[in-house]
Amino acid sequence: MSKIKYYYDTETCRYEKYKASTKDVVINVAAFTIICLIFSVILITVFSSFFDLPHIAYIKEQNKELKYYYNIMDNDIKDLNTMIDHLHNKDKSIYRVIMESDPIPETVWNGGTGGNKKYKELLNKNLNYEDLILAKLKQVDELKRKMYMQTKSYDKIMALAKDKDQMLSHIPSIQPVSNKQMTRIASGFGMRLHPIFKTWRMHAGIDFSAPSGTPIYATGDAQVSRVGYFGGYGNQVTLDHGYGYKTSYAHMRSYIVKNGQKVKRGQLIGYVGNTGASTGPHVHYEVVKNGKKVNPIYYIYLNMTDEEYDEILKQAREKNQSLS
């Protein structure tokens, strides 16, 4: 039973029974409700500082697990990038050098895949940690791009490797005349005093002196690209070996090949003579690589010992009088 409240009425000089108005009831209920809410918030705050609510505990556990797998993925990406860069460096410094092929330009290798804008369409606009996810997507895309380039590079190297035997057979690698005693080099590559004009001129080949009629051999597999009499070169044969290589044999007494004919390394193509601007029987031998005349001495090595190769290098350096 609720207590009955009384108040003293000064007009009637009597104690009258107290009756609460509707306004007072509303104010009391509101005040009580507010106090309860305040105490509830305080209790929840204190409780949550020591104990996680079930859904908060679940979210924290999920975040912990996601962070664990994120770190694993991040380390894997770093390891894969290290591995692909190692393969790229090996490709550039070893395989490409062996196969005489230009490496992938560094500007292309490190070209990147663009900014984060291209990935944003893939994500929900309301997704949390968007920047973090975009950064990882970009790293994965960059890794995929490098892996693709490296795969294509290895495909090219495999094709070059399959063609290597054929390439080696075409590259000039023997002397154009028999020279077992290493005594037939009359003039090396470089500036020489011309025997006829008595002026210093570039001698863009090697002269091998030999008796007239000495056989001249193709120094690598090739196709005859030019034969005939050409001014100071006299009777001359030019061979196209492919792969950027050509060789030329001048001052021949005669030749036994014709334009378009295919020849093998060591095949007889003509005979030593004294035609053109020449002061004695010899063959003037030139090697052209990618359109530039180079020193033929570096393309004379097949079936030579180290001592023989050193001797022929010595002779090529010491000879300073050209026969043509």
Same domain, 125 and 227: no
* Neighbour count for residue 81 (Cβ, 10 Å): 14
For the chain, the average pLDDT equals 77
DSSP 3-state assignment of 261? coil
Residue 263 is predicted with a pLDDT of 94
With residues binned 3-state (H G I as helix, E B as strand, rest as coil), the percentages for the chain, rounded to 5, are: 45, 25, 35
Give whichever of 42-51, 148-157, 260-269 has the largest mean pLDDT.
Answer: 260-269
Same domain, 28 and 74: no
| pTM as predicted | 0.50
For residues 38 and 97, the model is more confident at 38
Whether 258 shows a pLDDT value over 90: the answer reads yes
**Domain termination site, one of 139, 162, 185:** 162
> Contact, 253 vs 235, CB < 8 A?
yes
Same domain, 117 and 247: no
For residues 315 and 92, the model is more confident at 92
**Whole-angstrom distance, CA of residue 112 vs CA of residue 139:** 9
Number of domains in the chain: 3
Q: Has residue 168 been placed in a domain?
A: no
Q: Has residue 254 been placed in a domain?
A: yes
Same domain, 148 and 245: no
Q: Has residue 267 been placed in a domain?
A: yes
Tell me which residue range forms the domain holding 73: 58-162
Q: How confident is the model at residue 227 (pLDDT cuts 50, 70, 90)?
A: very high
> Contact, 286 vs 248, CB < 8 A?
yes
Same domain, 138 and 262: no
User: What pLDDT, in 10s, does the model give residues 38-75?
Assistant: 888 887 777 666 666 677 777 778 778 878 877 888 88
Sequence-ordered list of residues with C-beta below 8 angstroms from that of 259, at least 6 positions apart, any chain: 224, 225, 226, 227
Same domain, 107 and 205: no
